[in-house]
Amino acid sequence: MGGTRGIGRAVAELLGSHGAGVVVNGRDGALAIEVAERIPGAVAHPGSPSVPAVADALVDTCVRTFDRVDILVNCAGTGALGAESILNVTSARFRDLLDAHLLTTFETCRAAAPLMVRQGSGAIVNTSSFAFLGDYGGTGYPAGKGAVNSLTLAIAAELREHGVRSNVVCPGAKTRLSSGAEYEEHITALNRRGLLDDVSFQGALDAAPPEYVAPTYAYLASDLADDVTGQIFIAAGGFVGRFERQTPSIVAFRDHRDEAPWTVDEIAEQVR
């Protein structure tokens, strides 16, 4: 899903070069057909998978064409830049951002997962972003990407027993969403405000092309990763990394069966 431009297109082309049957999805129908024609044996299915019927039809197209669904790659999204600050974002814009990042991912996973379970195998690779950390501000974009992470980890936990894997990639690449004067102004503003360090600032302005990101997706989709699930990876240029699983650390503890609740002052002392 989201295979007509940028990272999604690079992933579709790489998977096709390795012999995978590819269904190219995108909102632009003509472009979806054009990209599919460049990939041997690929077919196009345009539309937004955030619409349940489109997601169902997309998966049905894959089954009719290739008899099964072994891989689902979700790689769609949209940028909001400065228009999504909590100081100026509209409710409609926030919902649009969640729709573009979370609902598209959910609907295709919902449509494909039961088929993968019946097969006893399958690989889901979703797309998130460093922005899920909240370090760069924003609203709908980090919220949507953070939700994609949580959804992916929950799917991994639920479907592990059925042989279905689910992982996330946080990519960094030069695409139409990370190019142009408006993008550069936004990145410069983040750096000036101290929300983006100098190294990350330079990397954002000089990112590698999508072809450097695609192999991580292909790896996670392949049998080489048959024991890898529930993980959040990073792929940016020549850098491949992984976020460690978040675990809680104890700030304070007392047994409720023997002691009174913490007072506010006691909590403040423990946290300090």
Q: Which residues are catalytic?
A: 141
Please tell me the distance from the alpha carbon of residue 78 to that of residue 96, in angstroms, as a whole number: 9
CA–CA dist 68, 14 (Å, integer): 19
Question: Which residue shows structure tokens 């850098």?
Answer: 239
3-state secondary structure of 240: strand
Among 153, 150, 152, 130, smallest CA distance to 141 is for 130
Contact assessment for residue 133 and residue 93, using Cβ atoms and an 8 Å cutoff: no
Which residue, among 73, 100, 80, has the nearest Cα to 10 in the 3D structure? 73
Rounded CA gap, 93 and 83, in Å? 8
Assigned token pair, 186: 């936004």
Sign of dihedral through CA atoms 38, 39, 43, 45? negative
Query: Are 120 and 162 spatial neighbours (Cβ–Cβ below 8 Å)?
Result: yes
- Residue carrying the six token digits 């969640």: 98
Phi-psi region of 232 (alpha: psi -120 to 50; beta: other; left: phi over 0): beta
